[in-house]
Every structure is written in C-alpha cells, then in structure tokens.
Structure 1
Amino acid sequence: MLAGTLLALPGGIVAQELRSYTVVGDAIPHSLTGASGDAARGRSLVVERSSTCILCHNGPFPEQKFQGDLAPDLSGSGSRWSEGQLRLRMVDASRLNAATIMPSYYRVDGLTRVGTPWRGKPILSAEQIEDIVAYLASLRE
C-alpha cells in the first residue's frame, strides 16, 4: 500500500528506465505496459489535485469544487480522441504542440523547465499513464 501511495505523489516515481514506444502520426497506438489500464485508478489520478489533470482541466467530477480552466474540458475525451491519441498527449504533448504548457508526463530528455522532484524521472509511471488513458477513453458524450 505504501508503494502505491508513493507512486501517486509528485516525485514518487523512483528513477526507472522508460518503456519504449512508437509514435504513429498523432498517437502512440500500443499500450506502454502491454495491457489496458484500470479506469477507476485512472479517475483517481485525474482528480488528484497535487500532480495531474484537474489542476488545468475540468470535467465530470461533481465532487471537486475547484477545477482548472486553462485546458480543454475532459468530458467526452473518449469521443474526441482514440486511446493512442490520448496516450501521446499524456506521454509528451509537446510532440503535438511545441508551445503547450501541458507537462510531458512520461518524458525525461530535452526538458528545461523541470521541478526538482521530477528531474531525471517521469512524473507518472507507464501504469499510471495507461490507467488515465483508460479512464479518459471511457468519457463519451
């Protein structure tokens, strides 16, 4: 249980080798882990205020009083983007828009504005990326 808690906190990912992936067009078509993520865990990560999505995005999270308004609403994400497109946006949104303010959650090289807790390690693990992708893909309008 403690290990799971550490993974959910900023800087909690210990130095690890990133799993390889292939970008095809505007997507990473294959799971980083070789398996589908868990949508329930993904939702928990999305609404975790200390490190991920809800700081900038809003969506179907009625229990969350303060949601971000800097980025697109996550409602209907699964209708707008494929799992592969969602995965690339989580892994490295700068591949799609060099000027984005969205963090590269699964990239460590070539970054210049990186907080001390995240230097040399991804913000999220491959498993966490897949969990978030599973949840976002389930949001259909």
Structure 2
Amino acid sequence: MNLSAAALAWGLVGCAGIVQAWAQAPVATERAAASVERGRALLLQRQDTGCVLCHQIPGLPAGGAIGPSLHGLAERSTLSQARLHIADARRFNPQTIMPAYLSTEGLHNVAAGLQGQTILTPQSLEDILVYLFQPTARTPVIAP
C-alpha cells in the first residue's frame, strides 16, 4: 500500500469511528419521549420535512418514488444506521439529493434567516424513527 492509500485508509477509519460514536451517542431523553403520532405528522409534512415527496412510507398515503421505499426498513437497517442516514445522508453518498436533516455543515445558498438551523431537531428525528421502527402486525406464513 502506498503512502497516500495508507493515509486515506486511516482517514476513513477515523471518520467511521466518529460516525459510529455519534450513532451510539446517548439519545435516551429524546428516545424515551419519542412519539409515534408526532413522527407520523412529521413524515406527512410536505413543506417542512418532505419525506412523503420522495419515499413510500408504511401507513401513509402514497408517496414518491425518488428515494427508496421505507417499507420494511427495520428488517434491512438498524436504528442507528437509519438515524445517521436521516441526520445527514451525505456521509454515505455525497451526491445524494436527500436533505441533511440534522446538519448544517457544508450547506450553501441558505436563506439568511435559516442559516445555522437544522430541518429537524434531535427530538423530531427520534419521533420519525419511532414511527418507522414501530412493530407492525405480520401475517403468519403457513407452510403447505
């Protein structure tokens, strides 16, 4: 491995550690107070969050098809992974069109009155997650 590849590898390890630490940071207060009803309302807000504009979301009216369907999210993602993606999907895909919901880093052309403000609060992110990860009634599969 050449020097620049080694430096990149160490840099990625450092970033991964920071991301992992943030994902595991205590959010007990927000999680304990999380509300499925508030999460549903936030997901439906076309002007504020815009989630239904791009995603199909279980239990909500038909949404968009720009982003992946959020049906079965709990089966293919952990709560921490989903939290990181919603907070700032640019960490995983710098070219994403998904807004950075809980970050203001690297944003350009932000209206003066909104500079330094995030779209979501930590509490509203937890509300959305509790909605998306709520247990659903599953139809039992009966073997033939």
TM-score, length basis structure 2: 0.69
Larger Rg: 2
Q: 2:74 aligns with which of 73, 78, 82?
A: 78
Amino acid at match of 2:35: D
Change (3 A) 1:71 1:120: same
| Structure 1: 5+ residue stretches without partners | 1-21
Query: Given residue 128 of structure 1, which amino acid in structure 2 is its aligned partner?
Result: S
| Per-residue deviation, residues 56-86 of structure 1 (Å, max 9, x unmatched) | 1112245x2x521100111111111111011
Task: Give the one of 34, 38, 55 matched to 1:57.
Answer: 55
Aligned partner of 1:29 in structure 2 is 24
* Contact 2:30–2:122, Cα closer than 8 Å, also in 1: no
Question: Would you say how many aligned residue pairs link Structure 1 and Structure 2?
Answer: 117
Could you tell me whether the CA contact under 8 Å between 2:23 and 2:84 is conserved in 1? yes
The answer to whether structure 1 residue 39 and structure 2 residue 36 are counterparts is yes
Q: State whether residues 79 and 137 of structure 1, in contact with CA within 8 Å, keep that contact through their aligned partners in structure 2.
A: no
Asked if the contact 1:29/1:85 (under 8 Å) is kept, the reply is no
TM-aligned CA distance change 1:117 to 1:58, over 3 Å: farther
In the alignment, residue 23 of structure 2 is paired with which amino acid?
A: I
Of 118, 121, 130, the match for 1:125 = 121
Within 1, Cα distance between the matches of 2:82 and 2:27? 12
Q: CA RMSD in A?
A: 2.4
Q: Any residues of structure 2 matched to 1:101-140 within 5 Å, and which?
A: 101-114=97-110, 118-138=114-134
Higher relative contact order, chain-length normalized (CA < 8 Å, sep 6+): 1
- Residues 1:77 and 1:116: Cα distance change in structure 2 (over 3 Å): farther
Amino acid in the other structure paired with 2:24: P
Aligned mates of 1:113, 1:57 — CA distance in 2? 25
List per-residue Cα deviations over 1:11-62 (Å, max 9, x = no partner).
Answer: xxxxxxxxxxx5218x713454644122221111111121221111112245
Identity of aligned residues (%): 34
Identify which range, 100-109 or 116-125, moves more after superposition: 116-125
Matched, 1:99 2:95: yes
TM-score (ref. length: structure 1): 0.71
Question: How many Å apart are 1:102 and its aligned residue?
Answer: 0.4
